[in-house]
Amino acid sequence: MAIEITVSSLSSLESALAAAKGGEIIKLLDGYYGSITLSKDFTSKVTIEAINPHKVTFSDIDVPGGSNIHLDGLIIESQPRIDQNAHHVTISNSILKNALYIRDADNIVIDNNDISGGQNTLILNDVTNFTITENYIHHATADVVRITGASKYGLFENNTVYDVAAAPLVHPDLVQMFGTSTGIPTDITFRGNHLYDDPTTGSVYAQGFFFGDPNNGGYKNILIENNLINVGSPNSIAIHGGQENVVIQNNTLIPWPGGGGAIIRLTDARGWTNEGTTVQDNIAKSILNQTNVPNVSGNYFYGNDADMSKLFSGDGNQWQDFVPVGGSPIDLSTGLGASDRLTDLLNGTSSSGSTPPTPEQPAPTPEPTPEQPAPTPEDNTGGTDQGQIDSSLNGVAYAAMGAHEFTSASDVIEVAHNSNLALDAATVSFSFNADTVSGTHGLFSKDASYYTGGGNHLVSYIENGNLIVRFQDGANDDFARIGGIKADTDYDLQVSFGDGNTSVWLNGAQVHSADFSTSWTNNVEYLQFGARGWSSESGEAGFSNVFDGTISDIIVAEGNLTPAQFQNLLSDALADSGTVGGTPTPESPPTDIIANVVYEQAAEQTFTGKTGSIVNLEHDAAYEVQEGTISFTFNADDLRGTQGLFSKDAFHYAGGGNHLSVMLKGDSLYLVFQDEDSDMAFRAPGITAGQDYDVQTWFGDGEVGLAVNGELIGTKAFEVDLSLNHQNLQVGGLGWTSSNGGDTISNAFAGTISDLVIIDQAVSIDHGDLIV
């Protein structure tokens, strides 16, 4: 059994490593750990992992000669080096901000990371037995990936390699190999990768796969298959000296706007021919066979004048663009190009290279605004109180009101198909706020693998800052793609279909409409929120790509409705049911409440957005109340990221749970209660910077509730007991990453908080005056 050790500083980490023999798992609490060198030769794997991924930062990590080392969930600011005969080293689920250098190393695994920057973002020089999978590798000033020298026995699979920002006189490659005095790379497979160079960045175009400078007998045992390539260079796949068993097969190449690129090129170099090279079953614009290689067969070369819109679904900057147009000469059924890879992606049976989430602090550099940005949220676009909405109301097939937090598979909402959902026309409406928009995260689906069960599926998800909605009939797809989606921002999404039309509305604006027929009358798939179900068997549960964030006020209604029609349907349904605004009329007059003050801070306090301004109080027995009310007034300077207002919390359910946190996430106020093993969340959208808000929350007798400015946000049946909570109390920040009884704080608030009071009675807003 592995030995687990928890550390909180660089010195304690170094002590744990000095004592480690092999087999230990060293867990790191949040924080900055500086620089460390790992040169020890452990007898078995030692894991160094962040308890909270991407909340642990190192300035630098070097591994000169170290072995059996696994780094997981870290942020590394400077270029890590793995060299001097290091072996059995793994880096996974991490963010490397300034490239990665590997030399003279063996048995190296680099999996599911975001690696960026540097002149060359990833270098492997004389590296054997390596696996590079599921990474995002990007933004070099020259070659993005270099594999050189006597590197061999490697797998480079399902990575997304994109974008260079090079100046003239530099000829950048997305993936380059070349020989050196030590030898030439051999026995390497490049499979399922997406290579993309953004035409709007840099001063020169990038080459795709460029394998040059052959020596020591030329290239041998190289397989390039099922890759998706979109670059402007004629050297989209370029081989110089493919001497033995070099195979280029089943790749799909799309040209740049204007027609550049999408060419396979074979050239002699340094006396080595391409006599051992085979080119088969690819989709490309053309081939420059400058060495008269005879082994060229089964390819589809569409030529310079082809209409790309009749062949492909897009221009090549995302994998969905490479999906062939149904019925075209390159239809998936032909088996040409990267059909296997695209089929796996469409079925959800293979990852698209999900990247680790970008940390909240510091904020990531924004990418260029796409041509079709997400509409800016407007007032009165659907965030009003919807009352007691459920599937008993006329026209409502399913509803799950309130805010639902998603962080893991246990949070996903799965609803088995039922007759209420067998709709010929439907509208799906909800609000979402993503903690990260990096990688792929499902919002909702009524989907299964490919077109199983007769198709007519529907799915929506976020992929690298893009909102994707896919409608299916029995054999074709209709994609909607909206760029510019940001983390910590509220969005109101409405997706509808019926009567030969599909529509997508975001923040009240229509962003997609198509003549496309789909129906749920024969769709028996599970309805899922917070994940994608598109890899499941027809009629079966199962999902992937869990959402990280909040989804609120979920409603599935009958009919293909505009936002105005949707609101009218809900208003009419509520009126018919006798529900007004979701708040029942009190049966008796308000009564006065007599309570004791547990904590009070009446004076206005200013918080600077810095950790040092957070009020962090040690636990006091006076705070141990079985029921209570917390009220305060706040005014935010800005609405950036996540900012804590009040917290009596710790990591996960440490200390038996029964935690409480109030925070801002973008322009929404969130209240999260925990019992010993589950969460209950409320969300109040539409917060404006520079404006006062009065917050009142209560708990006790099996109920929790929230009101803002005297208006009820909601109540829920939920048991929470602060008499069991021994955590520190924070004002102007959060303690949710601390250990049990610890004092770790984060997410500092910028603004003012005043009139904070905690009493030992649960007081909802319908109780009338409070007597203390």
Tokens matching residue 193: 């990768």
Mean pLDDT of 302-309: 92
Integer Cα distance of 61 and 95 in angstroms: 12
Q: pLDDT band at 540, cuts 50/70/90?
A: confident
Q: pLDDT band at 77, cuts 50/70/90?
A: very high
Asked if 136 contacts 122 with a C-beta cutoff of 8 angstroms, the reply is no
Asked if 161 contacts 193 with a C-beta cutoff of 8 angstroms, the reply is yes
More confidently predicted of 505 and 475:
505
pLDDT the model gives residue 349: 57
Tokens matching residue 305: 């004048």
Selection from 221, 234, 341, 346 nearest residue 281 by Cα: 341
pLDDT at position 383 over 50: no
Write down the mean pLDDT value for the chain: 85
Which secondary-structure segment (H or E) carries 19?
Answer: helix 10-19
- Within 8 A by CB and 6+ apart from 327, the residues are none
Selection from 175, 129, 124, 179 nearest residue 152 by Cα: 129
Which of 507-528 are b and which e, b meaning 16 or more Cβ less than 10 Å from the residue's Cβ?
Answer: bbbebbeeebbbbbeebbbbbb
Using one digit for the tens of pLDDT, what is the confidence trace for 426-455?
999 999 999 988 878 999 999 987 788 898
Selection from 105, 239, 225 nearest residue 177 by Cα: 239
Strand partners, 176: 146, 210
Q: Phi-psi bin for 352: left (phi > 0), alpha (psi -120 to 50), beta?
A: alpha
* 666 φ/ψ angles, rounded to the nearest 5 degrees: 65, -130
Tokens matching residue 658: 């029964």
Q: pLDDT band at 377, cuts 50/70/90?
A: very low
Instruction: Cite the DSSP H helix spans in 50-123.
Output: none
- Within 8 A by CB and 6+ apart from 350, the residues are 158, 192, 341, 344
Mean pLDDT of 553-566: 89
pLDDT the model gives residue 376: 42
More confidently predicted of 401 and 387:
401
Integer Cα distance of 606 and 630 in angstroms: 19
Selection from 390, 491, 407 nearest residue 441 by Cα: 407
Tokens matching residue 510: 């229509």
Mean pLDDT of 629-647: 90
Using one digit for the tens of pLDDT, what is the confidence trace for 265-290?
998 776 778 889 999 999 999 999 88
Longest dimension (CA), the chain: 97
Rg of the chain on CA atoms, in Å: 29
Using one digit for the tens of pLDDT, what is the confidence trace for 690-699?
999 999 999 9
Selection from 143, 29, 126, 133 nearest residue 86 by Cα: 126
Which secondary-structure segment (H or E) carries 342?
Answer: helix 339-347
Question: Which pTM value belongs to this model?
Answer: 0.52
Strand partners, 685: none
Which of 77-105 are b and which e, b meaning 16 or more Cβ less than 10 Å from the residue's Cβ?
Answer: bbbbbbbeebbbbbbbbbbbeebbbbbbb
Query: What does the DSSP 8-state code read for residue 304?
Result: T
pLDDT at position 419 over 60: yes
Using CA atoms of 258, 263, 269, 273 in order, give the dihedral in degrees to the nearest 10. -160
Using one digit for the tens of pLDDT, what is the confidence trace for 222-268?
999 999 999 988 899 999 989 899 999 999 999 988 778 999 999 87
Using CA atoms of 51, 54, 57, 60 in order, give the dihedral in degrees to the nearest 10. 110
Mean pLDDT of 377-397: 49
